[in-house]
Structure 1
């Protein structure tokens, strides 16, 4: 996210391979390695610690774990910690990457004892592969079909004990039979500003950045309750301080950098403000349909619905009605706009 163009591309899910690899490497370097280092999510962390300690004490693999919640809250990080706690290797895959039983069989057959299989977006797993996963999770075996037609034979292939960690942003889409096979389910919540400030402060040390306390809180307050965003903004503030500042990440540097990257005081970015401006100005506060709103800002409906809308609704800028999306009084105030005419209906 080096300029506004790359910011636009990222919001549409278009990231260059080099940038994507760089972002992943930077994020990996900042991830905590142990459960004791993990900040926030106190309930999930204490419950998961109990599950892992009991499994290690019994000399067995932990129960399968399902982690749900919005993107960027630490589901992948927790899977890495689980693998480290049980002295196993982490195997990463995703639901969309497994489109048939053969894909899943190839992944399962490569597992070793105590390995952790992390399946991101598990709710998007192909239904034909789910049946194989049920058997693998319960009985640690897969049935491989050899041949075709009436002469086909099913050969059972035993698997070493392993743990599945499933991650989903939409737990309601998980089939009940799959959800019931997880021994532990944890839901991750958005972080408080103090927790994000602590995360940013710790990671600044790892980045060898001279971060001041008020700058850490400024970054945290604009991070939408999400550590992934906080870490990304920290790196952008570090870039600004190195290139245009004196190397110190103070409050002035943080504000200047975040202004350059179009992240305002409430954490709204270019797309968020474009959506709000469209609803408030072009459609006089709404309601307006999702498709019409997406066309007006030059984005796909799915991008508006999954990238911008959740935060805008959570923060009280938008409401969803049977007739479409409508702006609240807070949205007009944030944009510095007068409310609609008295005869108009205004939510909030």
Structure 2
């Protein structure tokens, strides 16, 4: 189901348009600012940029900002959409001088396309093979200078030769509560919401260190306030809205709590294999591993051992249970 036009407009409006408006990631912002300023002074396209880090921290937004700062058009595609070298060749051959190409989930690109990208990034040239077998011929195609911005949530899956061709690599970190409150204040101002400092703090504390989640929760709080006729949102109203959407005070949602409850109530705190745990909560293994597990491990609620997943004492405490005297680790 497609988003409503209003939701799309709000989503676009909430994205910062410049590095000065971008909240958080101070180190990466300073480095990018220097890189872009030097490129403009030289009158050349910026070096290729690789942005890594968990989802929702601003990799796509930064690519848009890079294009805006360089006053260049932006082309957006993704690794899974490029399954053949011909797919990549079609995109590269249609680029205009100075254009910024954003390649999301770059680690999921096919190997043939990846190898073509090596030459395109380094020499701004690709070789297109025409024909098959002994009669095949290679036609060199010159490309205009462009800037590739690659984004990945799993930098370790990128082959060394590809990673080394990026002139700048930036890793995005999770946001602090103070930074998330700044994100929320900016977004609430754009949405004309009236929220107290305590209300911002309540939403930020449930946002898992991620601006995308913070803005999503803010929109749900806005909906709750609209339906309940609330003009000013205090901490109590924000908590009531997010409780209704099953996001608890620590940012855990339904799936997170289901994983912890299964781990504790069905398997005595573990250890238990990931596939068995996924079956117990009625989800796919990949969903549990990529959606729920990273946050639970980061929060010290679940541990990973050679024998399987285990519930840590903080998980028992969060569910209002008494942890065993000697938990299995």
1:94 aligns with 2:94: no
Who is 2:182 aligned against?
198
Question: 1: CA distance between counterparts of 2:162 and 2:210?
Answer: 28
1:245-301 deviations in Å (ceiling 9; x for gaps): 323222222111100100000000000000000111111110110000000000001
Taking structure 1 as the reference length, what is the TM-score of the superposition?
0.92
Tell me if the contact between 2:82 and 2:109 (Cα under 8 Å) persists in the aligned partners. yes
3-state SS, counterpart of residue 198 of structure 1: helix
Matched position secondary structure for 1:337: coil
Helix, strand or coil at the partner of 1:320: strand
1:142, CA displacement in angstroms?
Answer: 1.4
Q: Deviation of residue 185 (structure 1)? A: 0.3
- State the partner residue of 1:218: 202
Structure 2: 5+ residue stretches without partners: none
Taking only aligned residues, the RMSD between alpha carbons, in angstroms, comes to 1.4
- Residue in structure 2 matching 1:128, options 81, 87, 112: 112
Q: Find the counterpart in structure 2 of residue 161 from structure 1.
A: 145
Deviation at 1:148, TM superposition (A): 2.3
Gap runs ≥5 in structure 1: 1-15
1:188 matched to which residue of 2? 172
When the two structures are superposed, what TM-score results if normalisation uses the length of structure 2? 0.97
Is this contact kept in 2: 1:245–1:253, CA < 8 A? no
CA distance in 1: counterparts of 2:132 and 2:328, whole angstroms: 63
Q: What per-residue deviation string (whole Å, max 9, x for no partner) do you get for residues 119-164 of structure 1?
A: 1111111000011111110111111122222222211111111000
Q: Specify the SS of the correspondent of 2:20.
A: helix
Return the alpha-carbon distance in structure 1 between the equivalents of residues 299 and 284 of structure 2. Answer: 22
2:327 equivalent to 1:345? yes
CA deviation after TM superposition for structure 1 residue 20, in Å: 8.6
Q: Partner residue of 1:246?
A: 230
203-212 or 43-52, larger mean C-alpha shift? 203-212
Q: How does 1:256-275 map to 2 (within 5 A)?
A: 256-275=240-259
Secondary structure, counterpart of 1:118 in structure 2: strand
Q: Quick one: structure 1 residues 97 and 23, their matched pair in 2 at CA, closer, same or farther if it must change by over 3 Å?
A: farther
Secondary structure, counterpart of 1:35 in structure 2: coil
Deviation at 1:229, TM superposition (A): 0.2
Shift of 1:23: 5.6
Instruction: Report the Cα distance in structure 1 between the residues aligned to 2:131 and 2:48, rounded to whole angstroms.
Output: 32
Counterpart CA distance in 1 for 2:245 and 2:18 is: 32
Supply the distance in 2 between the matched residues of 1:187 and 1:24 (Cα, whole angstroms). Answer: 27
Contact 1:238–1:247, Cα closer than 8 Å, also in 2: no
Instruction: Kindly state the Cα deviation for residue 214 of structure 1 after the two structures are TM-superposed.
Output: 1.2
3-state SS in 2 of match to 1:36: coil
Which residue among 290, 304, 327 is the counterpart of 1:306?
290
Residues 35, 46 of structure 2: 8 Å contact kept: yes
Task: Name the SS for the 1:339 alignment partner.
Answer: coil
Q: Which is further off, 133-142 or 144-153?
A: 144-153
**Once the two structures are superposed, what CA deviation does each residue of 1:71-97 show, in whole Å capped at 9, x if it has no partner?**
000000000000001011111111111
Return closer, same or farther for 1:122/1:24 CA change in 2, 3 Å cut-off: farther
* TM-aligned CA distance change 1:329 to 1:20, over 3 Å: farther
C-alpha distance after superposition, 1:214-237 (max 9, x if no partner) = 111111111000000000000000
* Aligned match for 1:174, one of 158, 170, 179: 158
State the Cα deviation string for residues 8-60 of structure 1 (Å, max 9, x = none): xxxxxxxx3x1498765532220000011111011111011110000000000
For the residue of structure 2 that corresponds to 1:196, the secondary structure is helix
Could you tell me which residue of structure 1 aligns to residue 125 of structure 2? Answer: 141
Q: Give yes or no for contact 2:96–2:144 (8 Å, CA) kept in 1.
A: yes
1:83 aligns to 2:49 (yes or no): no
